Structure 1
Amino acid sequence: MLSRLRLFTATCFLLLVQAAFAAGQTELVWYGHAAFKLKTPGGKILLIDPWITNPANKNGKEDLAKLDKADLILISHGHFDHVGNAVEIAKKTGARLVSTFDLGRALVQYGGYPKDQMGFDTQGNFGGTLTLLDGEVKITFIPAVHSSTVMAPEGSPDKDIHDGGHPGGFLIAVKGGPTLYHTGDTDVFSDMALISRFAKVDLMLACIGGHFTMDPERAAHAVRLVGPTTVIPMHYGTFPVLAGTPERLAAALKRQGSKARVEVLTPGQTLRF
């Protein structure tokens, strides 16, 4: 009887330790293209450029259906492949929109994002930092070299293309977790070197597809400027013109003598920190 009691006590203790360990982790899920889900140690959910049903994600419809919680939706610029399923998710979860003020206004006016889920508390501009979710995250707006336009949802009589402000990326510092830099769509630019003066980047989520953004070779230069510990390639392979590959990125980094580690994810894969 005593042995069983000890075994039961030990099992309960192990489960409690495992639960505490899991609760203290940061989780990052890649859905393909530029779409990520970030879960903080406190259980808050951030979605970044949530095109969940992109062609690279074979389980996109199922993944979208399972997304029943989101606290913040971060959108880097107004193109359809980054706005993605944001409106549908926002209406289902009540998630607030994190974007530049100009983009947020355009998404509400033309893109269908719920107006009462966007305001000054989650809107900013480049160089500004927002402290959100009771201090769980700090989000800094980083510029990008690209473009940004907004179109009305499919089926709308509005067929015009509307200005979406300036494109950007996000530096996300998680309390008790890593600091991530999501580049959005961009080319390499020299001011990326300034990012490391304000924060040590643990994870750089870098576009590498080429054609519309920097390719792997140019992305390698961007990694050198930012100096992350790990780089996760994104925005490649979704369409034939996005021909950049993680292998080319790794080779370019090696040629430059970079110590950054390339972490290649598959759509739906989760990393834990």
Structure 2
Amino acid sequence: MKYFNTRIQLLLMLILATIPVAAHAHSDSWKFTENNNNVIRMQTKGGDSAESGNVKIEFYGHMAFKITSPKGLSIMIDPWRNDPSGAWGLWFPAEFPEVPVDIVLSTHAHFDHDAIYHPHATMVLERMAGEFNLGDVKIIGVAEKHMCKSKGWYKWTEAAKEFNQDFCPPDNFLHMDNFIQIVETGGMRIAHWGDNRPLPTKFADDLLKNIDVLIMNIDGSRHILSYEDIDAALKRYNPKVVIPGHYYTKGASSILTTLSTADEWVDRQKDVVHLNKSELLLEPDKIKSLKQRVYYFGMNHSKK
């Protein structure tokens, strides 16, 4: 029996040794070689988020997007990781890139959105509500709720019974809260939907009006939003630019995500630009006349 127990212990040690480092969530910020020099420059020189200027958006797969202001302040939203508990499988074949950024944001406390300690960030604004200003950037965090009833083929919300909790408000646990992030810079308003429910409160709805760019969950499996949800939201907010996210991205996603590509929905749209790289330069003078142009990154995602 003692020999058998020893073998079991060794087996458990081997299993634990194979779990990726991404499984832990603690901060390694004290090891980062980066510093806050750019943040100091921004707070000293200031800036105006309404001043027109080019804004760069980079796609890192799933719902992770990096936004860089005209004056060079960088913001990463929703970096991903694999579920530390292992209950949801391996959604990502690699760890999130240790990219240096000034600010990292997370819309909600789900593993595929909250790897806030993987980017080398000077500041962490996790699940932020209210207003934040620095340099030529203004960020408005909108406290809202996560989609709580799955509409696609994979009924992930049925796990609520297993976890003995209500996923829907008002008695939901924290992980079913969502914080839409609106980044104002370069004279544009860029909204990152997170995993929000399709019909926000009036308070949130009003803040989302006059959005120039909307980054939204769009995938063929309808994991978060149905096509009807997406189309209704676009009709309400009428953004000049739509950027799909939260879809299967070869190289960044594994098939265990249960997600599909956004191809089917994208192919239905009238004005589509298929990007051939992982970054997009938004020029305010060029987008002001657009009406829901779709910029689709497809399988192009940044790895650094």
TM-score (norm 1): 0.59
Instruction: Identify the match of residue 87 of structure 1 among 93, 96, 117.
Output: 117
Establish whether residue 45 from structure 1 lines up as the match of residue 80 from structure 2: no
Q: Write the letter of the residue equivalent to 2:215.
A: L
**Deviation digits for residues 61-102 of structure 1, max 9, x if unmatched?**
6x714x1x3121110001100013x2132xx443222424xx
Instruction: Identify the match of residue 260 of structure 1 among 285, 292, 296.
Output: 292
- Which deviates more from structure 2 when the two are superposed, residues 40-49 or residues 163-172? 163-172
**Deviation digits for residues 17-49 of structure 1, max 9, x if unmatched?**
xxxxxxx52100011110000000111110000
Deviation for aligned residue 1:202: 1.2
Which SS does the other structure have where 2:80 is aligned?
A: coil
Q: Write the letter of the residue equivalent to 1:71.
A: D
Deviation for aligned residue 1:169: 1.5
Query: Cα 1:200–1:56, aligned 2, differ >3 Å: closer, same or farther?
Result: farther
Which SS does the other structure have where 2:296 is aligned?
A: coil
Q: 1-side partners of 2:291 and 2:201: how far apart?
A: 20
Which SS does the other structure have where 2:107 is aligned?
A: coil
Output aligned runs, 1:217-232, within 5 Å: 217-232=228-243
Query: Cα 1:99–1:190, aligned 2, differ >3 Å: closer, same or farther?
Result: closer
Q: Percent identity, aligned pairs only?
A: 23
Query: Cα 1:44–1:197, aligned 2, differ >3 Å: closer, same or farther?
Result: closer
Q: Write the letter of the residue equivalent to 1:261.
A: R
Q: Write the letter of the residue equivalent to 1:145.
A: H
**Deviation digits for residues 157-184 of structure 1, max 9, x if unmatched?**
xxxx98446222112111x242111111
Q: Which structure carries more helix by proportion? A: 1
Q: 2:283 maps to what in 1?
A: none
Which SS does the other structure have where 1:80 is aligned?
A: coil
Higher RCO (Cα < 8 Å, 6 or more apart): 2
Q: 1:99 maps to what in 2?
A: 127
Query: Cα 1:229–1:196, aligned 2, differ >3 Å: closer, same or farther?
Result: farther
Contact 1:76 1:99 in 2 (8 A): yes
Q: 2:170 maps to what in 1?
A: none
Output aligned runs, 1:85-164, within 5 Å: 86-89=116-119, 92-100=120-128, 124=129, 128=130, 130-146=131-147, 163-164=174-175
Contact 2:139 2:181 in 1 (8 A): no
Contact 1:145 1:189 in 2 (8 A): no
Contact 1:192 1:226 in 2 (8 A): no
Instruction: Identify the match of residue 97 of structure 2 among 53, 56, 64.
Output: 64
Which SS does the other structure have where 2:264 is aligned?
A: helix
Q: 2-side partners of 1:259 and 1:47: how far apart?
A: 26
Query: Cα 1:77–1:180, aligned 2, differ >3 Å: closer, same or farther?
Result: same
- State the number of aligned residues: 196
Q: Write the letter of the residue equivalent to 2:58.
A: V
Query: Cα 1:96–1:33, aligned 2, differ >3 Å: closer, same or farther?
Result: same
Output aligned runs, 1:180-195, within 5 Å: 180-189=190-199, 191=201, 195=205
Deviation for aligned residue 1:231: 0.6
Query: Cα 1:64–1:172, aligned 2, differ >3 Å: closer, same or farther?
Result: same
Q: 1:9 maps to what in 2?
A: none
Instruction: Identify the match of residue 212 of structure 2 among 195, 199, 202.
Output: 202
Q: 2-side partners of 1:245 and 1:193: how far apart?
A: 29
Query: Cα 1:194–1:225, aligned 2, differ >3 Å: closer, same or farther?
Result: farther
TM-score (norm 2): 0.54
Q: 2:105 maps to what in 1?
A: 74
Deviation for aligned residue 1:192: 7.4
Q: Write the letter of the residue equivalent to 2:76.
A: L
Q: Write the letter of the residue equivalent to 2:231.
A: A
Q: 2-side partners of 1:250 and 1:56: how far apart?
A: 26
| RMSD, aligned α-carbons | 3.6
Q: 2:5 maps to what in 1?
A: none
Deviation for aligned residue 1:211: 4.7
Deviation for aligned residue 1:145: 3.4
Which SS does the other structure have where 1:217 is aligned?
A: helix
Query: Cα 1:96–1:186, aligned 2, differ >3 Å: closer, same or farther?
Result: closer
Q: 2-side partners of 1:132 and 1:190: how far apart?
A: 24
Instruction: Point out where structure 2 has 5 or more consecutive residues left out of the alignment.
Output: 1-52, 84-89, 149-164, 166-172, 272-289
Q: 2-side partners of 1:77 and 1:253: how far apart?
A: 32
